[in-house]
Structure 1
Amino acid sequence: MKLFKEQDVRIVNKKLPSKTLSKTPFEVILEKAEKIGIKKDFLPRKWELVGDVLILKIPKEVEEQEKKFVGIYAKEIISQEKKIAEIYADVLNAKTVVKDEGIIGRNRKPKIKVLYGSSTETVHKENKIRFKLDVSKTMFSSGNIDERIRTAYLSNENETVVDMFAGIGYFSVPMGVYSRPKKIFAYDLNPDAYHYLMENINLNNVQSIVKPVLSDSRNADENVADRVIMGYLKNTKSFL
């Protein structure tokens, strides 16, 4: 107390206004769902917002439960899915909501079910780069943002780069914008991915740097690249 007096310190008892903690998006979704009788167990906790299209990851246990009753309560299940999708669209500001049903085929085409809205084409903005895509035709992992940012700055104006699995330009386009190498040859076999690769090259003004190639990257010319971008695939070794 003596120290407090010497330093002219006073102890004041005062009640401060309590702060209201903001709710998480899921808490808001849960509130809205419970008001119309939808149980918490049926609400997806995982989702991915690509542009203004929301991709819902339905829990396996919920999917298995739905399969058991799909014949008897098909209309009710469809109705509930739509109601859930509407809530997620409202809270997360999405124009379209789709259900993730896996990946099919060599080109890894997404299998989705549209629950709300209609258009599955969108423009996703990230690190000042615009990616145009259709989530029903091509994949996009927003979780890889750190790697896309890191890769964007790896090259320089003296390099020629080959991107072996370019997709819609996940790595080629950001690298073209920020590293501006001499040339990037961006290969992809998937016609849908190639279409959006060309769109994204134009959207981000890297036409003079990124050259899209609709072909298997194993057909690429040898001894031309100073740097190779090689995204991970299950059969990556067969491309070495």
Structure 2
Amino acid sequence: MERMTLKDYLKGKARDSDIALLRRGFEIIGDVMIIDLPEQLMYLKDDIVEWVRLKHKHVRTILRKTGEVSGEFRVARYEIIYGGETETVAKEHGCRFRVDPTKAYYTVKLSGERERVARLVKDGERVLVMFAGVGPYAIVIAKLAHPSEVIGVELNPEAARYFRENVKTNKVENVVKVVEGDVREVVPELDGTFDRILMPAPYNAGDFLDIALKKIRSGGTLHFYTFSGEEEIDNKKEEIVRKIEYMGYNARILFWRECGNFAPRVNRYVLDIEILKP
């Protein structure tokens, strides 16, 4: 059982054609597991729960994803197929994050990306995290680097509540400031400029470029996240640079990479962009 995959476990319990439809992987946040199970495979629910209980004994709740991240609060839709408690505590890079994935967005799949960005932050930098969620980027940066200040802006009241709690839990109150509100309204009112701005909202970060550009210092770095088809990413990079230049700034892509799968041949990408003001 130790090495048996879910597909192996289901052999003999389900049609081969149905097993082939199972989507890749699952996500475990603390003791909550999220699975992507198509409606036509719901007859396998009990077998899947049994496999999870054997393979991942610490999991106490299993959520089936029924809708993608959407709405102004960026929360996906789920149904509980096992257990009941959806609030949990996730751990990464020596940090603890309390979160309820049914109320606020959080994914462990960006843990490596959060560490990558944190390692880029130089001593004394002032950092802004737009769409900050429950605080993973802001808090990991505060823990792994030595910024002078990290401001996280979040609209979702539940996410902001968890963010404030997580700041206290991780003892970074002297570095991280939580601002609850709409990025478009809040960010222009923040004092000064920032050395680094993160925009981890791949669905619509482009709609807020104008706000970020006005608050970044010349020579600062913008971490821009977006979804793109594998064949379109080069065009997407050019499109974003053109958009920034159209707004009157000079842009140079320092680095880019895939940082997660969204759908077949569609991925999440991050672009590290140096911004120079004329």
Change (3 A) 1:234 1:34: closer
Q: 1:91 aligns with which of 55, 71, 75?
A: 55
Q: What do you get for the CA RMSD once the two structures are aligned?
A: 2.4
Change (3 A) 1:210 1:25: farther
Q: Distance in 2 between matches of 1:213 and 1:132?
A: 18
Shift of the alpha carbon at 1:234?
A: 2.7
Q: Distance in 1 between matches of 2:99 and 2:146?
A: 23
Q: Distance in 2 between matches of 1:207 and 1:25?
A: 44
SS in 2 for 1:145: helix
The runs of 4+ residues in structure 1 deviating greater than 6 Å are none
Identify the residue that residue 5 of structure 1 maps to in structure 2.
none
1:148 equivalenced with 2:117 (yes/no):
no
1:26 equivalenced with 2:5 (yes/no):
yes
Change (3 A) 1:132 1:155: same
Q: Any idea what the Cα deviations from partners look like across 1:120-161, whole Å, max 9, x if unmatched? A: 111111121212110211222222222111112222442221
The one-letter code matched in structure 2 to 1:226 is: D
1:237 equivalenced with 2:206 (yes/no):
yes
Identify the residue that residue 50 of structure 1 maps to in structure 2.
29
Q: 2:156 aligns with which of 190, 215, 220?
A: 190
Aligned residues: 201
Question: Structure 2 length as normaliser, TM-score?
Answer: 0.65
Shift of the alpha carbon at 1:23?
A: 5.1
Which of 1 and 2 has higher RCO (CA within 8 Å, sep 6+)? Answer: 1
Identify the residue that residue 223 of structure 1 maps to in structure 2.
192
The one-letter code matched in structure 2 to 1:124 is: A
The one-letter code matched in structure 2 to 1:52 is: D
Q: Any idea what the Cα deviations from partners look like across 1:80-136, whole Å, max 9, x if unmatched? A: 524422331331221111101123322121200101111111111112121211021
Structure 2 residues not aligned, in runs of 5+: 210-278
The one-letter code matched in structure 2 to 1:119 is: E
Q: Any idea what the Cα deviations from partners look like across 1:194-236, whole Å, max 9, x if unmatched? A: 1111121112110111010001223222533222122243322
Change (3 A) 1:89 1:44: farther
Shift of the alpha carbon at 1:38?
A: 4.6
Q: Distance in 2 between matches of 1:189 and 1:163?
A: 12
**Are the equivalent residues in 2 in contact too, given 1:112–1:136 (CA < 8 A)?**
yes
Question: Structure 1 length as normaliser, TM-score?
Answer: 0.74
**Are the equivalent residues in 2 in contact too, given 1:82–1:116 (CA < 8 A)?**
no
Q: Distance in 2 between matches of 1:207 and 1:153?
A: 20
SS in 2 for 1:46: coil
Q: Distance in 1 between matches of 2:4 and 2:63?
A: 18
Judging by fraction of residues, say which structure has more strand.
2
Q: Distance in 2 between matches of 1:203 and 1:160?
A: 22
**Are the equivalent residues in 1 in contact too, given 2:2–2:55 (CA < 8 A)?**
no
Q: 2:45 aligns with which of 64, 81, 101?
A: 81
Query: Could you tell which deviates more after superposition, 161-170 or 42-51?
Result: 42-51
Change (3 A) 1:122 1:39: farther
Change (3 A) 1:89 1:138: farther
Q: Any idea what the Cα deviations from partners look like across 1:49-72, whole Å, max 9, x if unmatched? A: 1111111111x4xx2x36xxxxxx
